[in-house]
Amino acid sequence: MDKTSFKRILKFGWKNMGRNKEATLASIFVIFLAVSLVSVLFLSQGITDHLVNEVKEKIGISAYFKSETSENEINNVKNKIKESFPEAKIIYISAADALEKFKESHEGEPIYEKALDQVGGNPFRGSLDISSEEEESYEEMVAVLEANFSNYIYKVDYLNRKEIIDQVFNISRNINIIGISLSILLIGLAVLISFNTIRMVIFSQKEEINTMHLVGSPKIFMNGPFIVQGVLYGIFSLVVTNMILIPFIYYISPILQANLAGFDLWVYLGQQLIWYLGLQLLVGVGLGVAATWLAVRHYLRN
Amino acid sequence: MIKFKNLYKTFDDHNTGLKDINLEIKKGQFLTIIGPSGAGKSTLLNIIIGEKDYDQGSLLFEGQEIKEMNNQEMARLRREVGVVHQDYKLLKNKTVKENVAYVLEVIGVDEERINSDTQKALRLVGLEDRTNYYPDQLSGGEKQRLAIARALIHQPKVIFADEPSGNLDPQNTRNIIQILNKIHDLGTTIVVFTHDKDVIKQTPGRIIVIRDGRIVQDDHKDFVF
């Protein structure tokens, strides 16, 4: 296709869109709904992931070290674990820190202060708090700790927590499955509605397509302008979606942050902007182009 | 230019098709094909422009069998002929000027020539003051004239006019036939399909009468239905 033909196809598509205002608005509206839905599901996935990770971080195992183990030795164990399990989050809590934490959390409770006095000195041990996003890592970590560092380790608190770890991971898996299924269902519905609306719009221009055919128009001049229309529908719906959604996210972000374990939706949007816009472009333009192309192809074939 | 040889067309619903059509349309002719409704005139036109297939026989356009043309060749044929349809078949979303220019735009003609040829064609049919109107804003006669302007803009070898008087009053019909005569004088082959006896009083040249799918008279102006 030469440059002149390409420019003419763009011109026909643009003019056709402007001259069928009602059909254009209907098409942009349905694609806008689909793009908005996908965007909201994308952001919801971010919120869900954050909340699930927050819970996952709260669980985990603790390895308590024998009193005589030095801080260097504990750090050495920490480094070795980190080498084998790079995804794991490991926090070293010294005996002094543990005591301080205990005192802080039981401040103003004489019974605990008395108990500490009676025991005398620092009854706490240095420990490593280990959390991982991968459920199966826990058992492997315990095995590594027990096999290689049993000289230093007093106790690994795993069996007590195994049940809760399993439950949290099960819930997380179920949330993902439900989320993905719901997203597929809703996106499927949105796609179907958009497809049918655009097909109806093209149907109203069936006579036009037939006339182009009768005057010997090459195929590219028959379906090209409609595909251009599809692209423009997608771009316009993307713009409309973001004109509504972005200020809304900006407004709602501090409220969510206060109520959703510190999740900053605005920052998340900034971090995921390329994916967010890419997904919108894929859904908006993809839907517009696919629906118009399939509808026009149907009429050209008949 | 166009040659029918023993051409047959039948329809599944037993509607009149075409029976043993033998006809040659020569370059530069003004041919009027007349017959009552249902005689097979539209079928004949639709077969020539590849809208309908034929069952037997042969139809050659400039030596090439129409049945054997692929989609691209058929599109090219449609660009080499001009058709004025009974129901005009105008592009409703395009203005008068754009409807006429469209045929040139899709074959890659440059803007300058498109503008000058479009103006000439619209002047020839008397629509130069309606360039920015949409088809729905035109009267029946104006729509017919627009359809003619579109049919002639690319200087086709032949123009087919299907029932050019179909929706028009006698005055408008006379105007349309005058325009077709003018185009014929410029060297274009014209084929008019009509059921209107008044039309043939105004058309020059050869006349063919078609009835029940058969050619019953050829080159005979003095006929009775």
Same domain, A177 and A273: yes
In this predicted structure, the answer to whether residue B225 has a pLDDT above a threshold of 50 is no
Burial A134-164 (b: 16+ CB within 10 A, else e): eeebbeebbebbeeebeebbeebebeeeeee
Interval A237-249: pLDDT, tens:
999 999 999 999 9
> How far is it, in rounded angstroms, from Cα A279 to Cα A276?
5
Same domain, A224 and A93: no
Same domain, A190 and A269: yes
Q: What's CA A190's distance to the chain center, in Å?
A: 20
Interval A73-84: pLDDT, tens:
899 899 988 888
Q: Are A284 and A35 in contact (CB under 8 A)?
A: yes
CATH level 2 (architecture), domain B2-218 = 3-Layer(aba) Sandwich (3.40)
In this predicted structure, the answer to whether residue B213 has a pLDDT above a threshold of 70 is yes
> How far is it, in rounded angstroms, from Cα B73 to Cα A106?
91
Q: What is the pLDDT of residue B14?
A: 65
Q: Are B81 and B45 in contact (CB under 8 A)?
A: no
Q: Closest-CA residue in chain B for A214?
A: B78
* Among A17, A206, A211, the residue to mutate for chain B (most B Cβ within 10 A): A211
Same domain, A297 and A214: yes
Partner residue facing A217 (CB), from B85, B94, B106: B106
Q: Report the DSSP pairing between strands B189-194 and B30-34.
A: parallel
Which of these three, A92, A121, A151, is where a domain ends? A151
Q: What is the pTM of this model?
A: 0.71
Total domains, chain A: 2
Asked if residue A135 belongs to a domain, the reply is: yes
Same domain, A210 and A292: yes
**pLDDT-based confidence at residue A257 (cuts at 50, 70, 90):** confident
Chain A: closest CA distance from residue B89 (Å): 6
In this predicted structure, the answer to whether residue B219 has a pLDDT above a threshold of 80 is no
Q: Report the DSSP pairing between strands A89-93 and B206-211.
A: unpaired
- CB contact under 8 Å between A216 and B89, yes or no, is no
> How far is it, in rounded angstroms, from Cα A280 to Cα A243?
13
Same domain, A176 and A41: yes
Q: Are B28 and B223 in contact (CB under 8 A)?
A: no
Q: Where are the domains of chain B?
A: 2-218
Interval B79-107: pLDDT, tens:
888 898 888 889 888 899 999 998 888 88
Interval A184-237: pLDDT, tens:
888 888 888 888 888 887 777 777 787 787 777 888 888 888 899 889 999 999
Paired strand residues for B3: B24, B60
Partner residue facing A20 (CB), from B78, B80, B93: B93
Which of these three, A116, A151, A186, is where a domain ends? A151
ipTM of the shown complex: 0.73
Per the structure, the complete domain to which residue A125 belongs is given by 67-151
Same domain, A237 and A279: yes
Asked if residue A114 belongs to a domain, the reply is: yes
- CB contact under 8 Å between A215 and B108, yes or no, is no
Same domain, A38 and A173: yes
Which of these three, A124, A151, A178, is where a domain ends? A151
Q: What is the DSSP letter of A204?
A: T
Of the listed ranges A37-51, A207-221, B51-65, B191-205, the one predicted with least confidence: A207-221
Same domain, A190 and A294: yes
- CB contact under 8 Å between B105 and A8, yes or no, is yes
> CA triplet B78, B190, B170: central angle to 5 degrees?
115
Same domain, A9 and A108: no
Q: Closest-CA residue in chain A for B84?
A: A215
* Among A3, A205, A208, A215, the residue to mutate for chain B (most B Cβ within 10 A): A215
Q: What is the pLDDT of residue B221?
A: 61
Same domain, A81 and A204: no
Compute CA distances A176 → A130, A138, A294, B170, whole Å: 24, 21, 33, 75
In this predicted structure, the answer to whether residue B168 has a pLDDT above a threshold of 80 is no
- Using an 8 Å CB-CB cutoff, list residues of chain A that contact chain B: 2, 4-5, 8, 15-16, 19-20, 205, 207-208, 210-212, 214-219, 221
- CB contact under 8 Å between A208 and B92, yes or no, is yes
Asked if residue A62 belongs to a domain, the reply is: no
